[in-house]
Amino acid sequence: MNNAEVKIRKETKNKIKVDFERTPLWERIKSKVLNMYTLKKVVWYLFRFLLLLGISYIILFPFFSKISSSFMSKEDLVDVTVRLIPKHPTLSTYQAIIRDNNYFVALGNTFLLSFVCAVIQTFICTFIAYGFAKFKFKGNKILFLCVIFTMVVPHATLSLSIATKFKFFDFFGIIQAISGNSINMLNTNWPLYILSLTGLAYKNGLFIFMLRQFFRGIPDELEESAYLDGSGIFKTFFRIILPLSGTMLITVFMFAFCWQWTDNFYTDMFYSISGPTLLPDIVKVPKSLDTNYAGSALYTAAIKNACGMLIITPLIILYLFGQRYIIQGIERSGLTAD
Amino acid sequence: MNLDIDAGNKRTKKQKIVIDAPAKRRKRGASLDVKKARAGWLFVLPFVLGFVLIYVPIIFDSIRFSFNEMRLVIGGGYQLNFVGFKNYSDALFVDASFVTTLLAGIRQLVLDIPSIVIFSLFVAIILNQKIAGRAAFRAIFFIPVILTTGLIASIDSSNILSSYMDSSTGIDNGTGQASTAAEIVSALDIRDLFSGMAVGTEIVEYVVGLVNNIFNIVNRCGVQMLIFLSGLQSISPAIYESCSIDGASGWETFWKITLPMVSPMILVNTIYTIIDSFTSSNNSVMSYISNVTERSGGDVLASAMYWMYFLIVILIIAIVAGILSAVVFYQRKD
């Protein structure tokens, strides 16, 4: 096309309208969309999307089945035409569990236990991790190896000795020497509080590891400038470092809270029937429900599912609010292997 | 050496910074280091106290119990009788099924670990790309870590309803018969596919096992997935850009860039997976041993079993870490 032939139709300060021969729309779309590159992209996109959808289904299906079965009445469970959606939805299972199994008492006790443990664990682990990440002192590396060691040895390996430790609680015989007897801490919250206070509770090694990686990502200059401005080490920690690490703190708190909430290993170990009612204790068939009939296996399973729903409902609410912090928190921790 | 430095900024007051003589400065620096070392100790003090006062005695007790017989005394306290390696030899030679459970369990876990790591890497790569509803998928994939633990896992493992519902044909045909025909890919299909390839029965069994076990694997790779995700996001986009300018395909980019860059995460994740799956209370060995605990006098026997199991786990971790750290690529950041 020759420049001379271009006919200017309209010209304003920053726009110019020119007549020229355009390729037809269809041709343009064809060359843009109908090629191998786009095709490959679309296929790959669909493949990914379907795959993710499928895996999400695998993850979510147990929850669907839990929810639906917890609303089923006895008739639904013997009715072979009922699969996922109950024909006679009922709330009686929930009512019986809440009434007979002391649900709210268990909820309160577990909430207290989990909340206190999670708060303690969050702060203690932050403290410990900050010490490991930012201060050079003799034995830093060896102590960190000890943390890894506590992470590697499963607590189940030690269950007998942990239980005896807290049943006959003592520091090298000091308490026995003073009061004449060791302290029995079973059936109280103290064993878990003490484990949390010393960074030894469930997966605390992982928390310390994650937080240490996060703190190492914070540039040292930040603290140095704070020190230069006359702020002490602890003031710097509380005023500058902690506000920066809000996401990580929420992440660790949620892990600690949820894992303590659904825990049955420690609660089995530290609490007996005479102890406070906790959430694991409500997983049983309520007295008022009759399971003495042919389909009882399915009915028992449905009741247990209802118990499970009652247990995780608070966690689901918490997760809905906190999930974006968890994902951000883990992404920002910048975990590396060094 | 005294220096007067003017801030030269009209907004702030004129500042005078005095830097002391070198000798004095060194002394000060040393004292700051000492202060910081002390603060470091203070920060890690809770752990040190707990480790020395609680953890070490617990470990020590656990080892001691495994060499003893234990009897509870009625007045309170317990009595130990030293029996040497009796508990260990009982576990190995008297207990009928411990050794077979142990071997089968370890074999199963060793087979599971590569699949968990590879699957989580794969999902992390997909979730790292732009896709509709990415945030929702991430949230869903992370649900098992938070919810399917401990108590809920134990409820799920005995949940016959879930499998009952899952086995139904898509739209209920009224017969109520459990049918496997409607499964998306049935184990039989995979068997057929692989036997056509003539790759050997072990691999076929392995793949079939994986497909049947997919729920379990998906549930166990939440944390690993997020660790990979954080690793993938720390790779500089400039590297990918220069790669695509040089004409590398996606496949080549994966093998030459992504894989080496996330290889430290592969090491971390492999070790995490080993620890996590060996210590999770619903693997066959752990549940077997916890059943032993409930027998009379079984608690010390269980201690001995746990220690043997743990030593094997440590051995496996050492071997895997040794092999992997030889091939891990560390980017030098200068």
A195–B contact, CB cutoff 8 A = yes
Q: Measure in Å the smallest separation between the Cα of B210 and chain A Cα atoms.
A: 14
Residue in A with minimal Cα distance to B45: A128
CATH architecture of B98-327: Orthogonal Bundle (1.10)
Contacts of A218 (CB under 8 A, 6+ apart): A241, A244, A245
Interface of A with B in 135-164 (CB under 8 A): 135-138, 140, 143, 146-147, 150-162, 164
Q: How far apart are CA A119 and CA A126, in angstroms?
A: 11
Q: pLDDT at position A119, please?
A: 93
Task: Determine the pLDDT at residue A337.
Answer: 41
Give the one of A143, A304, A338 whose C-beta lies nearest to B48's C-beta.
A143
Using the structure block, give the residue that is written with the tokens 């007996």: A272
Predicted local confidence at residue B30, as pLDDT: 57
Distance from CA of B109 to the nearest CA of A (A): 16
Identify which has the larger pLDDT, A33 or B242.
Answer: B242
Q: Is the pLDDT of residue B76 over 70?
A: no
C-alpha distances in Å from residue A194, one per residue of A201, B105, B234: 9, 33, 37
Global ipTM? 0.74
Tokens linked to A249: 């703190």
Taking an 8 Å cut-off on Cβ atoms, the answer to whether A319 and B175 are in contact is no
Closest CA to B63 of B315, B317, B312, B310: B310
- Give residues 258 to 317 of A whose Cβ lies within 8 Å of B: 258-259, 262-265, 279-280, 283, 297-298, 301-302, 304-305, 307-308, 311-312, 315-316
For residue B96, the distance in angstroms to the closest alpha carbon of chain A comes to 21
- Checking if the pLDDT of B47 tops 60, the result is yes
Nearest residue on chain B to A48, alpha-carbon basis:
B126
pLDDT for the residue B199: 66
* Domain segments of chain A as ranges: 92-332
Which tops the pLDDT comparison, A295 or B40?
A: B40
Using a CB-CB cut-off of 8 Å, the residues of chain A touching B150 are 259, 262-265
Query: How many beta carbons lie within 10 A of that of residue B180, not counting itself?
Result: 10
3-state helix/strand/coil string of A103-140: HHHHHHHHHHHHHHHHHHHHHHHHHHHHHHHHCCCCCH
Residue among B306, B151, B61, B106 at smallest CA distance from A202 = B151
Asked whether the predicted pLDDT for residue B22 surpasses 60, the reply is no
Q: For chain A, list residues with pLDDT below 70.
A: 1-6, 80, 83, 171-177, 179-182, 290-295, 329-338
Say if residue B185's pLDDT is above 90: no
Surface-to-core class of residue A125, CB atoms within 10 Å of its CB (0-12 exposed, 13-18 middle, 19+ buried): buried
The CA distance from B70 to A163, in Å, is 13
Burial class (CB in 10 A: 0-12, 13-18, 19+), A27: exposed
CA proximity to B145, closest of B231, B225, B228, B264: B225
Enter the tokens of residue A337. 């292997």
Find residue A19's DSSP bridge partners: A7
Contact in structure between B92 and B98 (CB atoms under 8 Å): yes
Q: Kindly list the domain boundaries of chain B, sorted by start residue.
A: 1-56, 98-327
Which of A59-86 are b and which e, b meaning 16 or more Cβ less than 10 Å from the residue's Cβ?
beebbebbebbbbbbbebbebeebbeeb
What residues of B are in contact with residue A50 (Cβ under 8 Å)?
none
Q: Is B159 helix (H, G, I), strand (E, B) or coil?
A: coil
Tokens of B12: 């702030």
The Cα diameter of chain B in Å comes to 96
Q: Which of A298, A268, A303, A297 is nearest to A285 (CA)?
A: A303
Q: What pLDDT score was predicted for residue A115?
A: 92
* CATH number for domain A92-332, candidates 1.20.1250.20, 3.40.640.10, 3.10.350.10, 1.10.3720.10: 1.10.3720.10
